[in-house]
Structure 1
Amino acid sequence: MKSSLLLLATLMTLPTPHADAAPTPPDVERRPHVVEAPFGAKRTDDYYWLRDDDRKDEAMVAYLQAENAYADAQMARLKPLQDRLYEEIVGRIKQDDSSVPFRDHGWWYYSRYEAGKDYPVYARRKDGPGVDAIAIQAANEAGDFAAEQVLLDVNVLAAGKDYFSVGEYEVSPDNTLLAWAGDDVGRRQYTIRFRNLATGEVYPDTIPGVSPNVVWADDNRTLFYVENDPETLLTVRVKKHVLGTPVEQDVLVYEEEDDSFYMGIGRTRDEKFITIGVESTVSSELRYAPASDPREFTVLAPRQRDVEYDADHHGGRWVIRTNADGATNFKLVTAPSDATSRRQWQDWLPHDPEVFLEEYELFDGFTAVGERSGGLERVRILRADGSQQYVSADEPAYSMGLSVNAEPHTQWLRYGYTSLTTPATTYELNVLTGERRQLKQQPVPGYNPSQYVTERVWVEARDGVRIPVSLVYRKGFTKDGTAALFQYAYGSYGISMDPGFNGPVVSLLDRGVVYAIAHIRGGQEMGRKWYEDGKLLKKQNTFNDFVDVTRALVAQGYAAPGRVAAMGGSAGGLLMGAVANQAPQDYKVMVAQVPFVDVVTTMLDPSIPLTTNEYDEWGNPEQQEYYEYMLKYSPYDNVAAQAYPAMFVGTGLWDSQVQYWEPAKWVAKLRDLDTGSAPILFRTNMDAGHGGKSGRFRRFREQAEYYAFVLDQLGVADAP
């Protein structure tokens, strides 16, 4: 082993650059390793050894550090541009900003930032005469915090730590106790702690190794939480803790034996029930117990493959969103409070093959529904008298959805609105009078929306399916085929990439770059079928759609053929890897953040965190049909001797969703086989997880770095 380390150190030594010598990219030794599938198929993986679950292997760490050093050397000349981009991006952020307060149990809750600080302060104010969302925002703007009670100052909690995140906090029903979950590694393994809000005392009770999901019972002493498996990080057990008792004595409430399911807990809209929900990609099941005496949980409807449902309780009944009985785009049904079977469900809002039902919220006199049709979002109001109303929008491409509506006893509905040119805006709509009032629009210093244009276009994919694309560019842009294009997409898990305002993108637009979001199959922008047609044995549609959008935008004059950048992260990083293999000539530069690129090997290993939950998304490669299909597109397995675009690849050493070794292996293999001369940079955050570094501003340093890399590769002039 010592000789291997010496060899590796020699291979990865970065020579001191001379004035006429470029930095040399790192190399890393091959150690052939055979990966075998249960049915006998074998593959040789030369870089399998880069996996170290403990993150301590000296040779592995040396390689990551060498890649970071190479990235530093390559980016040194772009440091002035990177700094300018960073200053532009953070300059569009109001540093002492606060969220829109919402009322709950007699208190108004919000978060706020202080100038120059990275983390939020979570706070609340007591309700009373003259106290409302607008008045509190005015007080916060004026720096008047006299009536404020601080719940958590995350700046204090994060002091001295490389990473810190508060996943969730919950106030007890009597408003006196706070439970919160914090993560100081970035691996999404949280620790729950407790505070007395009257005295400020932090209790000694500490619960480690959990998900950020907590629910109080009505006694204000019992807390339900979800325990993770320490290796796979799967949510496996619901337990309850009684304040003041040893954590080791916490009672097991429920344990999920099927490792393809995720788990979460909550309280119903009317607060009568505590719920335990489990769901896989294709199935759901919910249990409920009275919050006043949550000793025994009842199954609302037993799980059944290909039947999904989520439920809430209000007005003496369950309201359930489900795809049962062929409702591909989902429908709403109702059931009695003691329901235990689907036989008790009654249709309420019927299925519509043209409208995807995405979310709903229950109020005393109406129900609000978030839905999709034609690739756009709408909010529909269903009144108790049977009448309906749609909330209007003013732009061709936008994002609209339900906001925080903590209390059902109101005639005011809150919703959010944004577009590629309109900053996030929160409205209240009075469902009885029709009055609408704006509670807040996210301030963006120095930004003038009238200087930018957004549009929606449709692109015909190679199989004839029309793909929606959202575009934004600076006013004055001409479709003459000379511009640079930055194209983004995700395309997995039914997650829709809606056209919302993105402050950092303005720095691209101001330099003449066109920004596009390709709403490709695998998302859910066009309904459930859009998702079904971009997963499992139809995953290739996702990659084809992205490439076809690029080619169409170039053909229509939105960009020059050699000036296209592409970006995706996580499963979108898989998209980047597959597209880089299949159509490298269409892209000048790519950014792949925390990319899921070693699909087959990862999915063959159930010990890797979260793998088993993904079988119904990607397929189980233990079955030969799925193995062979996944092998055809897996980015790592299909790296070939061809010229690749310039690439910026990012990862976090402590990522719990896409392990660092996937992009590490991918980059090592690209360095072996790439026949082109475009640079490939690999940046590892040694103290971060899946979402990158914590803190409000630190992540923009990372974004400014890859923006500078992209602009340089596209030949974009720096002057805005």
Structure 2
Amino acid sequence: MNPILSFAALAGLCLCAALARADAPPRADVRPQTFSAHGDTRVDPYAWLRDDSRSRPEVLAHLQAENRYAETLLADQQPLRDTLLAEMQARSTGGEASLPYAENGWEYRERYPEGAQQPVYERRPLAGGAWRTVLDAAERAKGKRYYRLGGWQLSPDGRYLAVAEDVRGDGAQQLALRDLASGEWLPLADRKAGTEMVWSADGRALWYVGVDPDTYRSSRVYRHALDGQDDALVYEEKDEAYTVSLSSSASRRYALIAVAGSDSSEAWLLDARDPAAPAKLFAARRPGREYYLDHYRGAFYLRANPDPAGFGLYRSAAPGAEWRALIAPGADAEVESFLLLKRHLIVKERRDGLSRVRAIAWRGGASRTLALPDPAYRVWFDRNPDPDSGRLRYRYSSLSTPTSTWEWNLANGKTRALWQPRLAGYRAADYRSERLWMRARDGERVPVSLVYRRGLLAKGGNPLLLYGYGAYGMAMDAAFSAPRISLLDRGFVFAIAHVRGGGERGRRWHEAGRLANKQNSFNDFVDAARELARLGYARPDQLYAMGGSAGGLLVGAALNQAPGLFRGAVAQVPFVDALSSMQDASLPLTVGEYGEWGDPADADAYRRLRGYSPVDNVGAGPYPHLLVTAGLNDRQVPYWEPAKWVARLRERQWPGQQLALITEMDAGHRGQAGRVSRLAANAREYAFLLTLSGWREP
């Protein structure tokens, strides 16, 4: 069967048959609450759906009713979901291990046993021998309704293992410590924590990030001593606009505390050789300046933006000393990250919407650029624990190239693949990825990455899924997804609109899509969809949208502002009640995000948020078919935001419309934790989209 010919002809028949058997959609009680600010009055009929305790029976009953309705509504898609899930699982051969890396006399790797939800972490001596289990995540997950390993760190002598585990789905970590010599698990303070941990040089102390129990803001750093003393508070950030993170310097001389707000930051130094010493400030924060620190061979290196042009790379001899520019930011490029090796400085720069990796010799300054094969891609540094090796390990991925690990010989410039995944039945040559430039309505050039299966692109005849994010200066680079193959093999084109607000084109790209410029993000997304259809990559009536979190806001605003453009959309934990959330300083993240969205206490910021917040701008419709997901324990985008949005949309639900809200009752912002469960969620979303397109399995 020609997959393109079947789409439109069968779409209406499939949907009508499904809806004829579906129960009546749940209707949330209307209990109006009035909110006034700056001379404006809003009525929220569904504010009662907010329950900070996540235990009120009437709220849980409504969410469960929505889940039952979604199950009935989507029941006809179950055979397709099963087929997709089986495909996704079959691509992975199972039991495959990651590429080992060497550190402190040991080799380490991650391995997923056949059909396992959770990985096993193993090690063996560099001299050889059998692999031994360091951590069995499946064993740790036993008896828990939710489990996700957030991070782990081994002491320098390899004896002690510190782990951070999310056992509630709310993102806050529970810490545990294991003596690998005896196998005994040792007590740690019972407090919410972050994922970052750093050991002292002697392995007798562990620094970790503490999370506020109410707002979930990373705000403190503690030191845990193995001698049994109470954990000591070594740093506390009291300004709610800032969060704290922790890392180890390349020299292992310092644990680095990074304190970051929306447009300024500072760093504090903890002496790894003297864990009891107080934290020392490197350079005080100041508005508009960010810097991110590392230390190697007696000097400090900073990715910083003292110049309004963007981020460059600087060197400083000591805290308080002058910063000397090594790489100044340019009009068309800025430093994204860097790595310090014995003979080379490795720099990842943003140029024209893509990352470029350069190796610069410390002696003589000769520079070499890493050649990368695809028109759009994602590249990042892998673990490089030995700065003296003369080789760089990096990870590479594109929309058509599976994520793999490579080695770059810095002496001769040659690269070689160290590890590539085994994907049964997949041939990269069967797929084509492209990178386009679209003109937004104000004339700005917006990059778009896309991929499709060769032989299935029929000009003007394909369904197309457009993905976007566009916030916080985060770059959504074009990376591979094994589950996505199932969509491409059935005739879909997949595209990413790299809209303003993200970091794809550097700092200015972020500035052009936040605060007073936020409307640019929505315009870019809508304009990209229309241009892709005009160029023949999609049938105009077969456009679909997808976004998660802040990307869900992007999708929600696009649906309000361009009614009729999209046939369907998937909104994953969408940030759609933006105005209400930004008015509530008691919510996690709110104060720290004033720099991204604005503080509604300011009249101009209020009006902007009021103008695009999806919940507050639901129009007369009709709206497209929608699959919306939420997590009951989500602290980043609370479940009531998507629940209130769907309740508003239900008021306008038209006969034949598929509108489903699925709330994961044991999960949070990142959804299901297990590997197979995540694939099942992919299968559900793709079955929804394929059914809307009219697809039927041959």
TM range (shorter): over 0.9
d(CA) in 2 for partners of 1:275, 1:557: 50
The equivalent residue for 1:106 is 105
- Alpha-carbon deviation of 1:221? 2.1
Distance 1:609 1:40 in 2: 27
- Match of 1:27, as an amino acid? R
Q: What TM-score comes out, normalization by structure 2 length?
A: 0.95
Query: Any conservation in 2 of the 1:241–1:250 contact (CA below 8 Å)?
Result: yes
2-structure distance, mates of 1:81, 1:473:
21
Instruction: Give the distance between the partners of 2:628 and 2:563, measured in 1 at CA.
Output: 16
AA matched with 1:609? P
Q: Are the aligned partners of 1:479 and 1:556 in contact in 2 as well (CA < 8 Å)?
A: no
Match of 2:162 among 143, 160, 179: 179
Secondary structure class of the residue paired with 1:581 = helix
**8 Å CA contact 2:368, 2:413 repeated in 1:** no
Equivalent residue number for residue 317 of structure 1 = 299
Select the residue among 188, 205, 209 that pairs with 1:226: 209
| Pair 235,478 (structure 1): closer, same or farther in 2 beyond 3 Å | closer
C-alpha offsets along residues 336-387 of structure 1, whole Å, 9 cap, x if unaligned? Answer: 1x3225xx11111121111131110000111111112122221100111200
Partner Cα separation in structure 1 for residue 403 and residue 383 of structure 2: 14
**Aligned residue number for residue 340 of structure 1:** 320
Match of 1:12 in 2: none
The C-alpha deviation readout for 1:269-318, integer Å capped at 9, x for no partner, is: 01111221100110110011321113122111100111001010002100
Contact 2:250–2:340, Cα closer than 8 Å, also in 1: yes
| 1:289 to 2:270 alignment | yes
In 1, Cα distance between equivalents of 2:177 and 2:372:
43
Please give the alpha-carbon distance, in whole angstroms, between the structure 1 residues aligned to 2:53 and 2:562.
36
Which region of structure 1 is more displaced relative to structure 2, 396-405 or 532-541? 396-405
Amino acid at match of 1:481: G
Look up the SS of the partner of 1:504 in the other structure. Answer: coil
| Cα separation, 2, equivalents of 1:115 and 1:89 | 14
Correspondence for 1:502 among 447, 461, 481: 481
1:4-54 Cα offsets, whole Å, 9 max, x none, are: xxxxxxxxxxxxx999654211011111112344x5643221111100011
Distance in 2 (alpha carbons) for counterparts of 1:699 and 1:546: 26
- Give CA-to-partner distance per residue, 1:133-171, whole Å, 9 cap, x none: xxxxxxxxxxxxx62232110010011222101111111
The whole-number CA distance in structure 1 between the counterparts of 2:668 and 2:94 is 25
2:639 corresponding residue in structure 1: 660
Q: Match of 1:673, SS?
A: coil
Which of 279, 284, 291 is 1:302 aligned to? 284
Q: Could you say which residue in structure 2 is the equivalent of 1:359?
A: 337
The one of 400, 405, 421 equivalent to 1:442 is: 421
Matched-pair contact (CA < 8 Å) for 1:565–1:714: no
Aligned residues with identical type, % of pairs: 42
> Aligned pair in 2 of structure 1 residues 80, 675: CA closer, same or farther (>3 Å)?
closer
Contact 1:400 1:415 in 2 (8 A): yes
Looking at structure 1, the residues matched to 672 and 149 of structure 2 have their Cα atoms a distance apart, in angstroms, of 13
Q: Give the 5 Å matches for 1:63-82.
A: 63-82=62-81
TM-score (normalised: structure 1): 0.92
Q: Contact conserved, 2:471 with 2:501, CA < 8 A, in 1? A: yes
Query: Could you tell me which of 128, 151, 154 is aligned with 2:137?
Result: 154
Following TM superposition, by how much is the alpha carbon of 1:208 offset from its aligned partner in structure 2, in angstroms? Answer: 2.6
Residue type of the partner of 2:316?
A
Q: Which stretch shifts more, 462-471 or 659-668? A: 462-471
- Listed as ranges, the matches of 1:529-568 within 5 Å are 529-568=508-547
Q: What is residue 95 of structure 1 aligned with on the other side?
A: 94
After superposition, the C-alpha distances for 1:610-645 in whole angstroms (9 at most, x for unaligned) are 111111011111111101011100000001122000
1:190 maps to 173
Pick from 692, 695, 712 the counterpart of residue 671 of structure 2: 692
Task: Using the TM superposition, give the Cα deviation of residue 192 of structure 1 relative to its aligned residue in structure 2, in angstroms.
Answer: 1.0
Relative to 1, partners in 2 of residues 1:615 and 1:326: Cα closer, same or farther, differing over 3 Å?
Answer: same
Q: Secondary structure at the match of 1:664?
A: helix
Which one of the candidate residues 584, 587, 592 is aligned to 2:566? 587
Q: What code does the residue aligned with 2:358 have?
A: R
Equivalents in 2 of 1:470, 1:90: separation in Å? 26
For the 8 Å contact 1:511–1:717, the answer to whether it is kept is: no
CA distance in 1, matches of 2:46, 2:262: 31
Contact 1:490 1:497 in 2 (8 A): yes
Q: 1:423 to 1:488 in 2, by over 3 A?
A: same
**Contact 1:643-1:676 at 8 Å conserved across structures:** no
Verify the 8 A CA contact 1:379 1:402 in the aligned structure 2.
Answer: no
Which of 351, 370, 375 in structure 1 is aligned with 2:353?
Answer: 375
Supply the AA of the counterpart residue of 1:541: N
Structure 1 position 573, deviation (Å) = 0.4
Instruction: Report SS of the residue matched to 2:94.
Output: coil
Offset at residue 520 of structure 1 (A):
1.0
CA contact (8 A) 1:272 1:291 kept: yes
Change (3 A) 1:19 1:511: closer
Output the amino acid matched with 1:94: T
Give the length in aligned residue pairs.
Answer: 680
Structure 1 residues 85 and 151: alpha-carbon distance in aligned structure 2, compared to 1, 3 A threshold: same
Q: CA deviation at 1:205?
A: 3.1
- Structure-to-structure mapping, 1:284-683, within 5 angstroms: 284-294=265-275, 295-328=277-310, 330-336=311-317, 338-340=318-320, 344-384=322-362, 385-675=364-654, 677-683=656-662
**How far apart in 1 are the matches of 2:696 and 2:359?**
48
Local SS of the residue matching 2:250: coil
- Alignment correspondent of 1:272: 253
Gaps in structure 2 of 5+ consecutive residues = 1-16
Contact 1:598 1:637 in 2 (8 A): yes
Match of 2:188 among 205, 222, 238: 205
Once the two structures are superposed, residues 64-113 of structure 1 have per-residue CA deviations (whole angstroms, 9 ceiling, x without a partner) of 00100000111111110111111111222232122222222122222111
Q: Tell me if the contact between 2:457 and 2:491 (Cα under 8 Å) persists in the aligned partners.
A: no
Which residue does 1:141 correspond to in 2? none
Whether the 8 Å CA contact 1:644–1:676 is kept in 2: the answer is no
Amino acid at match of 2:78: K
DSSP-derived class of the 2:576 partner: coil
Distance 1:20 1:670, change over 3 A: closer
CA distance in 2, matches of 1:632, 1:599: 10
Matched, 1:26 2:9: no
User: Aligned partner of 1:626: which letter?
Assistant: A
Equivalent position SS for 2:487: helix
Structure 2 CA distance, aligned partners of 1:420 and 1:649?
A: 25
Output the CA distance in 2 between the equivalents of 1:352 and 1:661. 44
CA distance in 1, matches of 2:158, 2:380: 29
**8 Å CA contact 2:571, 2:629 repeated in 1:** yes
**Backbone CA RMSD of aligned residues:** 1.6
The answer to whether the Cα contact below 8 Å between 1:641 and 1:674 also exists between their aligned partners in 2 is no
Q: Distance in 2 between matches of 1:402 and 1:22?
A: 49
Higher relative contact order (CA 8 A, sep 6+): 2
> Per-residue deviation at 1:433?
2.6
Amino acid at match of 1:369: V
Cα deviation, residue 178, structure 1: 1.0
Q: Which moved more, 1:553-562 or 1:589-598?
A: 553-562
- Cα distance in 1 for partners of 2:183, 2:228 equals 20
Which of 219-228 and 506-515 deviates more? 219-228
For residue 718 of structure 1, report the CA deviation from its aligned partner: 2.8
1:206: how far off?
A: 4.2
Per the TM alignment, residue 676 of structure 1 is displaced from its structure 2 partner at its CA by 6.3
The amino acid across from 2:433 in the alignment is T
Q: Residue 153 of structure 2 aligns to which amino acid in structure 1?
A: E
Q: Conserved in 1, the CA contact under 8 Å of 2:463 and 2:491?
A: yes
Shift of 1:714: 1.5
